[in-house]
Amino acid sequence: MEYTTATTTAANTYQTPTSTVTTASSSSIDDDYVQNLSNELQHTKQLLKQYQIRTEQLMELVKKQTNKITDLREQLKVAQQHNQNHAPSSSNTTNVPPIS
């Protein structure tokens, strides 16, 4: 049976048959091919699940960081308003003689 390269992944290269021959050895090769595809599918599903979990973790981190940034901006705003309200104005200053 002849094979041509059909799919290349990061880990494996798979081949698909170009002609059908019914012999014990070709059946075994087909079974191996199907088993290999099944194994790769399971591995891909595992990777997908890991990526989904990691994505959820990263989104939670983004949410926490966004909330922290919002809190810090609010604190900065309050501090700036406090400083503006308590900053000495030119009319409230007293003349203190310089030390000689």
pLDDT digits (tens, 9 = 90+) for 58-80: 999 999 999 999 999 999 999 99
Q: What is the model's pLDDT at position 95?
A: 62
Span 4-17, mean pLDDT? 56
DSSP state at residue 11: S
Residue 76 lies in a domain: yes
* Residue scoring higher pLDDT (88 or 30): 30
Report the share of the chain in percent with pLDDT over 70: 63
Residue 51 lies in a domain: yes
Residue 88 lies in a domain: no
Residue 95 lies in a domain: no
Full domain range(s) for residue 70:
3-83
Residue 57 lies in a domain: yes
**Cβ proximity of 15 and 4 under 8 Å:** yes
Residue 12 lies in a domain: yes
Residue 99 lies in a domain: no
Q: Give backbone dihedrals phi and psi of 30, rounded to 5 degrees, phi first.
A: -65, -40
Residue 96 lies in a domain: no
For the entire predicted model, the pTM comes to 0.50
